[in-house]
Chain A
Amino acid sequence: MAVKIPNHIDELPTSSPRFIGRGVERVEDIGLITGRTEFIDNISMTGMLHCAILRSPIAHAKIESIDVSAALELPGVVAVVTGEDAAKWSHPAASSPEGWGTYCLPTDKVRFVGEPVAAVAATSRYIAEDALELIEIEYEPLAVVMDPVAAMADDSPLVIEERGSNVMLQRVFNWGDTDAAFAAADHVFSEKFRWNRLGANPMETYGCISEWDPNELNITVRGSFQSPSHMALGRAMTFGLPSNKVRMIAQPHGGSFGGKGGVRGTDISLLLSRKTGGRPIKWIEDRMEYLTAGGSQAWDRRYELSIAVSDAGIVTGLKVKLVDDLGANGEGFGAISAAKPLAAFTGPYTIGAARYDLSLVATNKAPASPYRGMGPPPHNFALEQMMDIAARNLGIDPAEFRRRNFIPKDAFPYTIPSGNEYDSGDYQAVLDKALALSEYTKLREEQERLREQGRMIGIGIASAIEPGVFDWNAYAIVGVQGTGVPEGATVSIDILGKVMVRVGFALEGQGQYTLVTQLVADYFGLEMDDVNVTMLDTASAPPAFGPGGSRLGVAITGAVLGACDRIREKMCKVVAGLMQTEPENIQLMDGVFGIPGVPEAQMPMAQVAGTMLGASHLLPPDVDPRPEATHVWTAAGRTPVDEEGRAKSYLTAAHAVHIVLLEIDPETGMVEILKYVLVDDCGTRLNPATVEGQTQGSVAQGIGAALLEEYVYDEDGQLLTSTYMDYLLPTISDVPAPLMGEVVTPSPFTPLGAKGCGEGAIHTTPAAVMCAINDALLPLGTRADEVPAAPNRLWKLIRAASEKS
């Protein structure tokens, strides 16, 4: 019998859900709030040594010689590894695009400041760092290339000589007849945009404790992995080991946002473990290492956009040219951020034809990594600016302009030109609600009044799609293989009717253990305290990926409800045997199995479990006596990519409209957000408090992107922002308190109708803030097309515009 996974909350076996759909307190919080949760750096193991990594101070140089002899003499130092060990015991890292990975310790030259060159294992971190100072390295500096456009030139210095070019990928995708759309257009608008490097910056850096048994030839790593299964597969490839000899134990970790990184540090610590005969090696990345060379840096982009528009204000074509600077190699998988925009290339609009002219380029910067949103946030920022430019030129209000171009609510499921299918939505309703909440008409009147007083007031409105439930096929154009991302869970009920759920991912902050608990408690009519969630390592977990791509809430709901349904089916057989009827006559409702309408034929779930595990003489002969089941969920209907990169990739399309009112101080260039309104539709809200928390956190990261955060390199490749005094994260005073509203169009394709929503507002916030800034600058006749719109940039623009006038 097929497993039944409800598409609506009403289909759960409960007359009234007590937990799903409510903002219940999180099961994760007690350990976290008391400081007891076991983050990786809290763990100490017998025989454990501490690793410190020596990093390149030069952006591009040949390594002439490395002398580690003095370091090895220091008391407490047990081993040192260099590129020689990496070449002996490992392969170059997997990368995207393929073939752009390097050894975890370089054998010939360094390619960016902060690149690891050697590493020490010692009895304390203090001693390990002392030893780094005793390692002598001679470098012969090479010409540096920091500008991706210059890097594409034939005479550019090469970052990886063997590749013969710095162009990692160059391709033009055509979806529909873009040329015809532009030829027929009444208006064509074009603009350039610059999105500077920023990145994830979870408050916990990456860390691990690595063991490589040199005799058994197996690997065990405890660490702050976002995706333990993915790390395991990568280590098997890098070290040439059978995948079943590689075990990853994920610890709860302090955030990730896609940018936890950690591959190089893991591999280096594994080399040290092997060299020390298998001792556990702890490596904890410090913050400067994270900022310089961790999974910290993403989205370093130069855009040129054109849109074709009719007199009636309908956008018919979109051209996007992107030069994406991925830094020194492809090992950070930053390239997938250039592929993901295909999942929502034309946003929430009916634009019928599009072209994507994509160049991925290597330079002497740190390798680019993923970051929350995985690429669409800069794409949306550029697209939404174009919508405003067109609206303004045609004299149409930006809200009205977007409305005219929205995909209508009766058009779903809707396939966009770049191939993905949007599941459902009601974009007009979301816009209407946002306009009402913001009192948009009044806001415009207020703006006029304040402008007359000479104040620089702007209103920004932006609308974007958040693709949810990622699929590997979304990244096929940058060499990532596979379709489907399985997520499994095992639900086990004990003899007293209490439940243990085993999953394959660790706590990261989004509250998925709470979600699992809510689901199981409602399914079997239990209290949340009756359900416990625990994590399995990769040697014992069912297939699992963990959090990423706004996917886990939907995927784990499918896995847990599938496992519950399998248990229900077994229990129905047991109960049918006891009640001498057929299983199809037995129903589960509110935690009780029985024959509907027959009060004496009712059996609480705990009693059924107790019978299965403790009264085998009562069981029908052919029944599986374990009140336990595993279900592995994956999105149905995903398709392999066609020759133009098109696929049904992300399963859901959440939607949001943000409206921002802000003021620029012309004296300082500082931006103050006066009002922030957002309305979103992410389908059924399984835990509204979690959704709100993810949204608000994502607004904060979007504000950081729009106004504060930037990795700045000088022309020699030195990073000038390697502390939090230079790389500015939003503080409590920078982040607005948005007025939030919701529209709910349940997804027709997902468990309980939920849509992916974890990445959330960062898809829309930078676009909305930049639209508002440009609205504020309008009277000056100037534009801000670079992110972040930091005070120095705005001040210069305002000053230049004022001088001209």
Chain B
Amino acid sequence: MATKHTVRIKVNGVNHESEVEARTTLVDFLRGPLALTGTHVGCEHGVCGACTVLVDGRTARSCLMLAVQADGAEITTVEGLATPDGLHPIQQAFVEEHGLQCGFCTPGFLMSLVELLHENPDPSDDEIKDVLGGQICRCTGYQSILKSVHSAIAKLRTAGLAAQPPLA
């Protein structure tokens, strides 16, 4: 049996302490022991972006990162966006603008946008495309996603939010 390492991380505001093998990827750790299955695995080689999460507020491909590398970090996944009172404004925008079809890639898009809109509440189309160029969607052809982003920008502005929660 391979050596295990203790990992202490905070995910969506909840503290976890677990023993993991060094080779366990962050996404397998989130989806397995922590049962946070909203983060999806699309390619396992860092291209499709479906597994994007926030690690200390920065986007990371959780398929390319090991759980032990996240020791001590604060992580936000798609499960950390909505509250018991409702959807996050970015999620609401995607629903209203038909920004998803099969929905498998969507959590990755959402997490990338949380980072983008926190740093830059009013990005240009080129800035949006620059960031979302790292996320692949096979269903929508992206135009409804672009519309969703514009709607999210307006919603966040109205609500006076800079894409909160999550950024440590």
Using a CB–CB cutoff of 8 Å, the interface residues on chain A facing chain B are 23, 25-26, 28-37, 39, 41-42, 75, 126, 201-204, 253-255, 257, 286-288, 507-511, 689-690, 692-693, 696-701, 723-725, 729, 731-733, 735, 737
Contacts and interface: CB of A to CB of B under 8 A. Distances in A.
A287 B38 contact: no
A34 B37 CA distance: 10
A724 B45 contact: yes
B164 to A, nearest CB: 17
B68 interface: no
Given A25-B95, A725-B47, A254 B105 contact: yes
Contact of B41 (A25, A41, A511, A692): A41
A42 B37 contact: yes
A29 B103 contact: yes
Contact of A693 (B1, B23, B38, B144): B144
A203 B98 contact: no
B136 A729 contact: yes
A749 B67 CA distance: 57
A732 B132 contact: yes
Contacts of B24: 126
Contacts of B102: 32, 202-204, 253-255, 507-509
Given A33-B91, A33-B100, A692-B144, 6 more contacts: A25-B96, A25-B98, A35-B107, A731-B142, A735-B143, A737-B143
Interface residues of B, number: 54
B101 A693 contact: yes
B138 A37 contact: no
A730 to B, nearest CB: 8
Contacts of A37: 103
Given A254-B40, A510-B101, A729-B138, A34 B79 contact: yes
Contact of B101 (A42, A201, A697): A697
Nearest to A76: B1
B135 to A, nearest CB: 8
Contacts of B146: 732, 737
Contacts of A701: 138, 141
Interface in B102-152: 102-107, 110, 128-129, 132-133, 135-146
B141 A28 contact: no
23 contacts: A23-B98, A25-B96, A32-B106, A34-B91, A35-B37, A42-B37, A203-B40, A203-B42, A203-B102, A253-B104, A254-B42, A254-B105, A255-B101, A287-B44, A509-B101, A693-B141, A700-B140, A700-B142, A724-B136, A732-B142, A733-B129, A737-B143, A737-B146
A122 B125 CA distance: 48
Q: List 3 A-B pairs, minimum CB-CB distance, nearest first.
A: A35-B38, A254-B104, A32-B103
B100 A29 contact: yes
Contact of A255 (B37, B79, B81, B138): B138
Contacts of A26: 95, 98
A461 to B, nearest CB: 21
A25 B43 CA distance: 29
A35 B144 contact: no
- From A126, A511, A690, A701, residue with most partner B Cβ within 10 Å: A126
Nearest to A202: B138
Interface centre among A32, A510, A732, A737 (most CB of B within 10 A): A732
A696 B141 contact: yes
B52 interface: no
Contacts of A698: 141
B21 interface: yes
A41 to B, nearest CB: 7
A254 B103 contact: yes
A31 B36 CA distance: 14
Contacts of A25: 95-96, 98
Given A30-B95, A35-B39, A35-B79, A203 B138 contact: yes
Contacts of B136: 203, 724, 729, 731
Interface in B1-60: 1, 21, 23-24, 31, 36-45, 47-48, 50
B81 A29 contact: no
Contact of A33 (B77, B106, B132, B145): B106
Contacts of A42: 31, 37
Contacts of B39: 35
A31 B100 CA distance: 12
Nearest to A125: B28
B87 interface: yes
A28 B99 CA distance: 12
A187 B81 CA distance: 65
A26 B148 CA distance: 14
A696 B140 contact: yes
Contacts of B161: none
Given A35-B77, A287-B42, A693-B98, A28 B103 contact: yes
A287 B45 contact: yes
A33 B48 contact: no
Contacts of A75: 1
Contact of A725 (B45, B79, B81, B145): B45
Nearest to A699: B141
B153 interface: no
A397 B146 CA distance: 36
